[in-house]
Structure 1
Amino acid sequence: MKILIVEDDSTVAQYINKGLKESGHTPEVANDGKQGLLLATTNKYDVIILDRMLPYVDGITLLSTIRGSGNKTPAVILSAKNKVEDKVKGLRSGADDYMTKPFAFEELLARIEIVASRQSPATPSVTEIVLGELKLDLINRRVTRNDTVIDLQSKEFKLLEFLLKNKGKIVTRTMLLEKVWEYNFDPQTNVIDVHISRLRNKIDKGFSYQIIETIRGAGYLVSEPTA
């Protein structure tokens, strides 16, 4: 899971950060409420862990603000304020759970997993993506168009899968770098252009219409074919 830690005590933040990484999660740390609010409203997280007493923007205000904007990311307050009224105020501000310091990381991890699972109802797994005459079999990693089998390399398949899962939306270069190549920076290469060109040659060449459309200055778009 991708987890935001909003904690101004660097020792506590580093302790949680280290533990989450060792548990296979991807944590990100904000050292004050202002930075935490910015990250929480501009990025997507699976869980937010936050202290109540934070510089610039306190934890209660932070949580109330994101809840007011419709953000339902599960949140666990981790605070030294341990009175019943403190816990009630935290929960009423939108927290899914409230833990007091000092704490055991094992318990924090369990609580994180529980609140995340509550917010993530099971959805039927998708085994096939269809766009017009193109079919993507996600189980057997098989691509066909008009029943013609198309041989794709692993990265080409992943690229096409991501484009199809976002059909009707413009997919940017940054999105492709992050989701397909797992880069968190732009390496300033033409790797995307090369793979898009190869993919087009395989799935579009010789067929009645092109599936992948270039949106100049924005990215790429796949959409349902028009009659």
Structure 2
Amino acid sequence: MGKRILLLEKERSLAHFLSLELQKEQYRVDLIEEGKKALSLAQQNDYDLILLNVNLGDMTAQDFVDKLSQTKPASVIMILDHWEDLQAELEVIQRFAVSYIYKPIIIEDLVARISAIFRGRDFIDQHCNQMKVPTSYRNLRIDVANHTVYRGDEMIALTRREYDLLATLMGSKKVLTREQLLESVWKYESATETNIVDVYIRYLRSKIDVKGQKSYIKTVRGVGYTMQE
């Protein structure tokens, strides 16, 4: 069965075109125009990817991805109507999206980007599945089957990028350099600067760490990061 994609785009002609082209690539596509209905579907179903226009009619992109992350980490590509959207929604894109794309959309570019995202995802998931389940470190554990993370009995809401970064760190027995983390987690973005790793480490720590207690992620000065003692 092909991977499942949720497409949320209010421009009907474009949405129909994208849906048909992605189906030609053997993806299963659910096409929705309303944010709240799309959010309900995303929470109830296991989508491999969500294509989300940042300009929703009935809710903000921030509300959509924030509520979605409370239940499951999803891979999101943001569709931007104009270049100004990048600055207006920069924080949302940085925190929740694995990529973004401008209109007019070149279908070959979108298909190549989606394929690369899935290759990187499949690599991380395969690596996690080969590890002892449940994957754990101190009182932090990963539910590999559901791509969720728990600290004790509390589920920690992570984006898909944060989950991938945590899974990669937890699954390594050695210190990983920023370059190695980029290769594993940001595989398809060869131009990404290494400082994005530091940014996402901060995001991750802000969610999994407990104030006053030792961080789960250790910084090895001049080398990179590890979750090993």
Please report the TM-score for the alignment, with normalisation by the length of structure 2: 0.50
Greater C-alpha radius of gyration: 1
1:74 match: 75
Shift in alpha-carbon separation, 1:111–1:60, aligned structure 2, 3 A: farther
In the TM superposition, residue 10 of structure 1 has moved relative to its aligned partner by: 0.9
CA-based RMSD: 2.4
Query: How far apart in 2 are the matches of 1:61 and 1:13?
Result: 22
CA distance in 1, matches of 2:20, 2:96: 26
Task: Report the Cα offset of residue 70 of structure 1.
Answer: 4.2
Q: Which runs of 5+ in 2 are unaligned?
A: 130-229
**1:87 CA displacement:** 5.5
AA in 1 matched with 2:101: M
Report which of the two has the higher share of helix. Answer: 2
Alignment partner, residue 115 of structure 2: 113
For the 8 Å contact 2:43–2:71, the answer to whether it is kept is no
2:30 match: 28
Q: Which residue of 1 aligns with 2:17?
A: 15
Q: Which residue identity lines up with residue 88 of structure 2 in the other structure? A: D
SS in 2 for 1:119: helix
Distance 2:125 2:45 in 1: 23
How many equivalent pairs are there?
126
- The code of the aligned residue for 2:80 comes to S
- Residue in 1 that maps onto 2:97: 95
Amino acid at match of 1:78: I
Higher normalized contact order (CA 8 Å, seq sep 6+, divided by chain length): 2
- CA shift in 2, pair 1:60/1:113, >3 Å: farther
Q: Stretches of 4+ moved more than 6 A in 1?
A: none
For residue 58 of structure 1, report the CA deviation from its aligned partner: 2.5
CA contact (8 A) 2:49 2:74 kept: yes
Structure 1-normalised TM-score? 0.51
Identify which range, 78-87 or 26-35, moves more after superposition.
Answer: 78-87
Following TM superposition, by how much is the alpha carbon of 1:56 offset from its aligned partner in structure 2, in angstroms? Answer: 1.0
Q: Match for 1:119: what amino acid?
A: R
SS in 1 for 2:96: coil
2:10 aligned partner, one-letter code: D
Task: Give the superposition deviation at 1:25.
Answer: 0.8
- What is the deviation of 1:48? 0.4
